[in-house]
Amino acid sequence: MEKTYMSKWFIAVCISWLQLLILIFPFTLRAENVSVITTIFPLKEFAQAVGGEQVEVTQLLPPGAEAHTWEPKPSDIVRLSRADIFIYTGAEMEPWVSGILKTIENPKLVIIEASQGLPLLRADQAEAIGGEHHHSQESMHGRFDPHIWLNFDFDQKIVDKITEALSKKDPEVILRYQRNAEAYKAKLRDIDLRYLKGLGKCDSKEVVLGSHAAFAYLAQQYGLRQISLYGISPNAEPTPKKMAEVIACAKKYHAQAIYYEELVSDKLAKTIAQETGAKTLVLSTGENLTQKQIETKVTFLALMEQNLENLRYGLSCK
C-alpha cells in the first residue's frame, strides 16, 4: 500500500517537472535576444516598447549628437553588420543610409524605413505651415520634412511596422509583441487626445521657434503654425533678415514664448525673446537626448508632455 502510494507520488512529481520543462522549453531554445539598431531616439523608444525584454535595442546616435549632421563611424557599420533589424527615419533624415547598406554584408538584416508609406510634407510645405513663406537658404526642391515622429498617428503606424518585423524574426513571442505594441499605442492615442484638448482654445496659434522647423507635422495635427528661424535642419546660420522677420512675427502674434531645443544653442532664441519681451522655453524634437537626459531615463512621451505644457504657456491656452 505504502509502496503504491510512494510511486504514485513519484509519478506526479515527474509529470509536474515535465510540464514545467515543456513550458520553459521555448525560452531555453532562444540563443540570444533579437538585436535592433535605430538611428534617432523616438525609434529606439518605439522598438523598446514593443520588444520589451525580448530585444536589445541600441541607438546609433551618441548622447548629445545633432541628428541632422551626424554620420556613422566604421564601428557603427560593424554593429549594423551584426544586427537583426535596423530602423531609420528616411533618406532626408539619414542620407548616409543607402551608401552604408550597400557596403555591409548582413543577409539577415531587416530594414525598416519608418517614413515609407506615410503622407510626407514637402520641405517647402512644411515651412509654409507657418503661413508666412519664410524660405530659408537651403534648397527646398525635392526635399521632404523628415520629422514624422512628431505626428502621434504616424508613430502608431511606425509601431505597427516594428511589431511586424519583430514578429517575423521571433514568432514564438508574437503575442507578447502585439500586447506591448497595443499598450504603447494606447499611450500615443492618449497624448494625442491631450494635445487636441490642451491646444483647442488658445489666444495664439503661432509657434515661434528660435530653432529649426521640426514641428510641421505637429502643427498640422493641431491647427498650429510654426514660424522658425531655420529650415528643416538646423545647419545653415540664419541671416539677419530672417532674424528680423521672426522677431516681427513674434511681436505681431504676441508670442509668450520663443522656443529652442536642448541640443542646439539657445542664443538666437534668447535674442528674439529679448527683442519681444517673451520667455524662452524648450520645445523638444526628441531627435536625440543629452547625456543627463539618458541618465535620468527621460522618455519620448515625457518630452512630448513637457512640449504640450510649454506650448500651452506660449500660446496662452485655456
Nearest to 114 by CA among 24, 201, 43: 43
Q: Is 198 or 234 the residue whose CB approaches Zn ion more closely?
A: 234
Look at residue 270 and give its three-state secondary structure. Answer: helix
Q: How far is the CB of 246 from Zn ion (least distance, A)?
A: 17
Q: Which range of residues in 150-158, 198-206, 211-219, 252-260 is near Zn ion by CB under 5 A?
A: 211-219
- Residue nearest Zn ion by beta-carbon distance: 214
Alpha carbon distance 107, 152 (integer Å): 32
Alpha carbon distance 109, 86 (integer Å): 7
Q: How far is the CB of 216 from Zn ion (least distance, A)?
A: 11
Region of 262 on the Ramachandran plot (φ > 0 left; ψ -120 to 50 alpha; else beta): alpha
Please state, in angstroms and as integers, the Cα–Cα distance from residue 299 to each residue in 172, 188, 287, following that order: 28, 12, 12
Q: Is 144 or 177 the residue whose CB approaches Zn ion more closely?
A: 144
Q: How far is the CB of 150 from Zn ion (least distance, A)?
A: 9
Which residues in 25-84 contact Zn ion (CB under 5 A)? none
Q: Is 35 or 307 the residue whose CB approaches Zn ion more closely?
A: 307
Q: How far is the CB of 232 from Zn ion (least distance, A)?
A: 7
Cell of 277: 519681451
Q: Which range of residues in 27-35, 206-214, 222-230, 274-282 is near Zn ion by CB under 5 A?
A: 206-214
Q: Is 83 or 214 the residue whose CB approaches Zn ion more closely?
A: 214
Q: Does 123 bind Zn ion (CB under 5 A)?
A: no
x-marked contacts with Zn ion along 164-203 as a string, rule CB under 5 A: ----------------------------------------
Q: Where are the alpha helices (DSSP H) in the chain?
A: 2-29, 41-51, 74-82, 97-103, 123-128, 152-169, 174-198, 216-221, 240-252, 267-276, 291-295, 300-314
Q: Is 214 or 216 the residue whose CB approaches Zn ion more closely?
A: 214
x-marked contacts with Zn ion along 212-251 as a string, rule CB under 5 A: --x-------------------------------------
Q: Is 207 or 214 the residue whose CB approaches Zn ion more closely?
A: 214
Please answer whether residues 109 and 84 qualify as being in contact, where contact means their C-beta atoms are separated by less than 8 angstroms.
Answer: yes
Alpha carbon distance 172, 136 (integer Å): 50
Q: How far is the CB of 211 from Zn ion (least distance, A)?
A: 9
Alpha carbon distance 228, 132 (integer Å): 10
Q: Is 214 or 315 the residue whose CB approaches Zn ion more closely?
A: 214
Q: How far is the CB of 54 from Zn ion (least distance, A)?
A: 30
Q: How far is the CB of 16 from Zn ion (least distance, A)?
A: 57
Look at residue 14 and give its three-state secondary structure. Answer: helix
Residue keyed to cell 525584454: 53
* CB within 8 Å of 236: residues ≥ 6 apart: 136, 137, 138, 230
Q: Which range of residues in 106-114, 153-161, 208-216, 218-226 is near Zn ion by CB under 5 A?
A: 208-216
Residues in the chain: 318
Nearest to 289 by CA among 61, 98, 35: 61
Q: Which residues bind Zn ion (CB under 5 A)?
A: 214
